[in-house]
Amino acid sequence: MEIELLYVPDCPNRSVVRDLVELALARTQLSAVVQEREVHSSKEAERLGMRGSPTILIDGWDPFARGAGPAAMSCRLYRSDAGLSGAPTVSQLIEALRG
């Protein structure tokens, strides 16, 4: 499994999401190569499928995308039962990893 974290420079949620991904991997006992990629332009965001920063791609797929939304260089919000946040919950990540 390959996980890619796409983010803009100075993204305040980059390290939080990285830690949550690592925690979800540990809880599921799944192994993955986790890579981070800093995105510098709207064109690059569109090419990579980034829908806000940070975007989590699992084997090239964004499990948190809702529909075919546009690429974005802005902060991304993730929806959970508790409302909106700059990061998905560990439970949401575990569900996405188990796909």
What pLDDT, in 10s, does the model give residues 45-92? Answer: 999 999 999 999 999 999 999 877 788 999 999 998 889 999 999 999
How far apart, in whole angstroms, are the C-alpha atoms of residue 38 and residue 73? 11
Which residues form the domain of 25?
2-98
Note the pLDDT of residue 42.
Answer: 95
Q: What CATH number does the domain containing 31 carry?
A: 3.40.30
pTM score, two decimals?
Answer: 0.93
Name the nearest CA neighbour of 56 among 84, 10, 26, 94.
Answer: 94
Q: Is the pLDDT of residue 16 over 90?
A: yes
Helix, strand, coil percent values for the chain (each to nearest 5): 30, 30, 40
Note the pLDDT of residue 98.
Answer: 94
Q: Please state the domain count of the chain.
A: 1
| SS3 state at 77 | coil
